[in-house]
């Protein structure tokens, strides 16, 4: 999923105890237990955040796409709330850098190999915002609507048929890479959401660096789209 060009402000969590709980993985309970308040991981907050996140996204999609069927809305929502997407959102704000984990989890090398853990952290953060402030739910809804805006615009263009796929883009890009003696690679990720318009994401690496990303209903279409983007960007740099 595309990120907004300017990230919206992440709502803060004013309650320090709740904030500590948000960033406490179950493998590392950092609180001092007492008879009234046992130590807590972020799992309960994750449960709350996950539920409200799904509701907010469903509400946005329901309003933005009045002609789509429940199945179509479900497919889009599944892509938005996927672990891969929530992990991307969490990383955009550096949330993974504050996560406290136990020694037994160190080998996972956060964040590279623990996409679900970071996605869960994002959901826990949403839960933390909700319970730590009276305006938490409104702030979360406003924040999520801003985060998902580029994705909705892309889906709208797909549905309207305004996104065209240049099936010659890949070949043109390989030709340009040969001329400029640059290494060109494509990598793919599959959300496994059956029927989703953005199921596949293609990542284009130009000279070893990420040059662009694009999503589509199938792997080949995603590849053509990202190739077209990168082709345009590279041509602009040359001119």
Return the structure tokens found at 55: 């509701």
DSSP-derived 3-state class of residue 153: helix
Catalytic residue among 46, 120, 123, 154: 123
Nearest residue to 117 (alpha-carbon basis) of 141, 136, 91, 147: 91
Catalytic residue among 15, 16, 46, 50: 50
Is 50 annotated in the active site? Answer: yes
Nearest residue to 189 (alpha-carbon basis) of 199, 201, 203, 177: 201
Return the structure tokens found at 166: 């240049």
Return the structure tokens found at 237: 């740099």
Match 């933390």 to its residue by tokens. Answer: 128
Nearest residue to 218 (alpha-carbon basis) of 176, 158, 150: 158
User: Which residues are CB-contacts of 108 (< 8 A; sequence separation ≥ 6)?
Assistant: 101, 114, 117
Nearest residue to 2 (alpha-carbon basis) of 207, 166, 163, 137: 163
Return the structure tokens found at 16: 């320090």
Which positions are annotated as active-site residues? 50, 123
């Amino acid at each position: 999923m595309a990120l907004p060009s300017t990230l919206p402000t992440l709502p803060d969590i004013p309650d320090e105890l709740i904030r500590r709980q948000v960033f406490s993985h179950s493998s590392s309970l950092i609180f001092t237990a007492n008879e009234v308040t046992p130590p807590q991981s972020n799992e309960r907050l994750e449960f709350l955040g996950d539920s409200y996140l799904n509701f907010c996204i469903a509400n946005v999609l329901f309003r933005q796409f009045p002609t789509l069927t429940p199945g179509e809305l479900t497919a889009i929502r599944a892509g938005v709330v996927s672990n891969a997407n929530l992990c991307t959102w969490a990383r955009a704000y550096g949330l993974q850098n504050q996560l406290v984990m136990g020694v037994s989890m160190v080998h996972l090398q956060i964040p590279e190999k623990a996409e679900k853990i970071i996605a869960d952290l994002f959901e826990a953060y949403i839960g933390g915002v909700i319970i730590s402030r009276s305006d938490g739910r409104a702030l979360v809804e406003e924040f999520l609507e801003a985060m998902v805006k580029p994705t909705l615009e892309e889906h709208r263009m797909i549905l309207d048929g305004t996104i065209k796929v240049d099936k010659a883009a890949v070949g043109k890009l390989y030709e340009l890479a040969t001329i400029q003696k640059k290494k060109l690679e494509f990598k793919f990720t599959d959300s496994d959401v059956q029927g989703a318009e953005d199921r596949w994401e293609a990542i284009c690496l130009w000279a070893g660096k990420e040059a662009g990303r694009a999503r589509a209903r199938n792997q080949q279409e995603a590849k053509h789209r990202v190739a077209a983007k990168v082709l345009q960007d590279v041509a602009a740099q040359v001119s």
